[in-house]
């Protein structure tokens, strides 16, 4: 029986991960007896549907079912770092994630973890069923973090390097999986993610995205700084033959720009840019360009970021380190701004932070995802 289950684990691993997860849940919890084992012998992927899942599935709208699952208490924090209010999810694994962990998941490749926005992206019924079948973050983590050593799991404020190391160990190498269930045949593991297509133009810094470039030029009279983490772009416009070589320029009096990503419409920058905030500040202007070696760079859309809600709430609260995690402000989506969804200002581990999702303007397509942190003087 055990050998058969292992054989099935290997077979199922080539299927979406939720199937794999489901099989492990079956083995570990021994919840179902005859029918699922019958399915195992027949090599048919199948799903154990809990009573809760049945109730959820009976509801009509797919998005409603997904949002109900998101309201479950264990899904109110990111499965990987514990950050509050995750808005992303991986239906291939069955976990809800914060934006920063989502960016790392994207580097794993969609065969290991395909990530979608809970609020923005369109979901298929199968993807929603996959999330519901796994049952949420606690259920997934009971498998993937069965043997995670103390102090290894990152917190919400972890660096990108810490986060990446943990997420790769957890899902790609499966280091914390219950050892008695771990797949021993390395060949059955998903292929390693392809090399990132990061490319640095001659004019840009040669450092990689894991060692972000930081440009900090204080202007006289600056009232503080913004650390803008340019996380990723999605569905950007084509400006070369088939793709583009995008980079992002931010402007708030001074300018700062990311490195150029070669031949991609879905770049992952994960790069920190620093801007000093003058006393009479306006919005941050964001522009995306296509790097062109032989001619002027082409514009690939733009957007304005209203930083007033963040600065007003940050000033009102003063020393954020005196407060626990909480929401302190909000920049609301409206017809005359570029927001894809409302953008809340939060105190997270004593820092004032804001996640911003932008629909690029004056261009056929493209979205940019950022995190902004207020750094007081």
Q: How many residues belong to the chain?
A: 377
Q: Compute the least distance from the CB of residue 83 to Zn ion, in Å.
A: 4
Each residue 66-105 as x (binds Zn ion by CB under 5 A) or -, in order, gives ------------x-xx-x--------------x--x----
At residue 131, the 3 state secondary structure works out as helix
In sequence order, the 6+-apart residues with CB closer than 8 A to the CB of 189 are 13, 172, 174, 183
Where in 191-230 is the site for Zn ion (CB under 5 A)?
none
Q: Compute the least distance from the CB of residue 154 to Zn ion, in Å.
A: 8
Where in 274-333 is the site for Zn ion (CB under 5 A)?
none
Contact 376, 312 (CB under 8 A): no
Cβ closer to Zn ion: 83 or 112?
83
Q: What is the separation, in whole angstroms, between the first and last Cα of the chain?
A: 64
Cβ closer to Zn ion: 81 or 177?
81
CA separation for the pair 105, 107 (Å, rounded) = 5
Q: Compute the least distance from the CB of residue 51 to Zn ion, in Å.
A: 29
Cβ closer to Zn ion: 78 or 228?
78
Q: Compute the least distance from the CB of residue 97 to Zn ion, in Å.
A: 6
Q: Compute the least distance from the CB of residue 84 to Zn ion, in Å.
A: 10
Where in 16-75 is the site for Zn ion (CB under 5 A)?
none
Tell me which H or E stretch contains 13.
Answer: helix 2-13
Where in 225-264 is the site for Zn ion (CB under 5 A)?
none
CA separation for the pair 222, 224 (Å, rounded) = 6
Site for Zn ion contains 145 (CB under 5 A): no
Cβ closer to Zn ion: 80 or 133?
80
Cβ closer to Zn ion: 53 or 83?
83
* Sheet of 343-348, strand order: 268-277, 224-234, 367-375, 351-359, 343-348, 326-331
Cβ closer to Zn ion: 46 or 162?
162
Q: Compute the least distance from the CB of residue 104 to Zn ion, in Å.
A: 8
Cα separations in angstroms, 222 against 179, 237, 305, 313, 376: 54, 35, 18, 18, 10
Torsion of CA 192, 197, 200, 201, to 10 degrees: 160
Cβ closer to Zn ion: 21 or 83?
83
Residues in contact with Zn ion by CB under 5 A are: 78, 80-81, 83, 98, 101
């Amino acid at each position: 029986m055990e050998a058969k289950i292992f054989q099935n684990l290997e077979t199922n691993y080539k299927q979406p991960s939720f199937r794999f997860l489901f099989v492990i849940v079956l083995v570990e919890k021994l919840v179902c007896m005859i029918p699922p084992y019958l399915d195992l012998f027949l090599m048919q992927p199948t799903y154990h549907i809990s009573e809760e899942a049945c109730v959820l599935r009976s509801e009509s709208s797919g998005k409603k079912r997904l949002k109900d699952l998101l309201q479950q208490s264990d899904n109110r924090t990111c499965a990987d770092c514990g950050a509050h209010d995750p808005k992303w999810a991986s239906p291939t694994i069955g976990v809800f994630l914060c934006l920063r962990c989502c960016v790392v998941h994207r580097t794993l490749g969609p065969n290991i973890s395909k990530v979608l926005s809970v609020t923005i992206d369109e979901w298929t019924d199968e993807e929603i069923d996959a999330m519901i079948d796994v049952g949420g973050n606690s259920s997934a983590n009971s498998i993937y973090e069965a043997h995670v050593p103390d102090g290894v799991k990152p917190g919400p404020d972890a660096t990108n390097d810490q986060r990446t190391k943990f997420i790769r160990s957890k899902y790609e190498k499966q280091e914390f999986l219950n050892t008695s269930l771990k797949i021993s045949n390395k060949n059955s593991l998903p292929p390693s993610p392809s090399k990132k297509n990061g490319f640095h133009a001659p004019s840009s810094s040669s450092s990689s995205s894991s060692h972000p470039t930081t440009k900090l030029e204080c202007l006289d009279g600056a009232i503080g700084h913004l650390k803008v983490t340019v996380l990723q772009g999605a569905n950007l416009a084509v400006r070369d033959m088939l793709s583009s070589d995008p980079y992002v320029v931010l402007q708030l009096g001074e300018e700062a720009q990311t490195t150029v990503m070669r031949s991609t419409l879905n770049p992952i920058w994960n790069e920190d840019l620093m801007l000093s905030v003058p006393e009479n500040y306006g919005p941050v202007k964001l522009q995306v360009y296509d790097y062109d070696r032989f001619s002027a760079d082409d514009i690939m859309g733009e957007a304005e970021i209203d930083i007033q809600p963040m600065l007003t709430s940050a000033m009102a609260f003063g020393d954020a380190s005196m407060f626990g995690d909480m929401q302190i402000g909000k920049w609301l989506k409206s017809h005359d701004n570029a927001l894809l969804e409302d953008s809340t200002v939060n105190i997270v581990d004593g820092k004032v932070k804001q996640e911003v999702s932008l629909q690029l303007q004056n261009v056929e397509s493209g979205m940019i995802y950022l995190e902004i942190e207020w750094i007081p003087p």
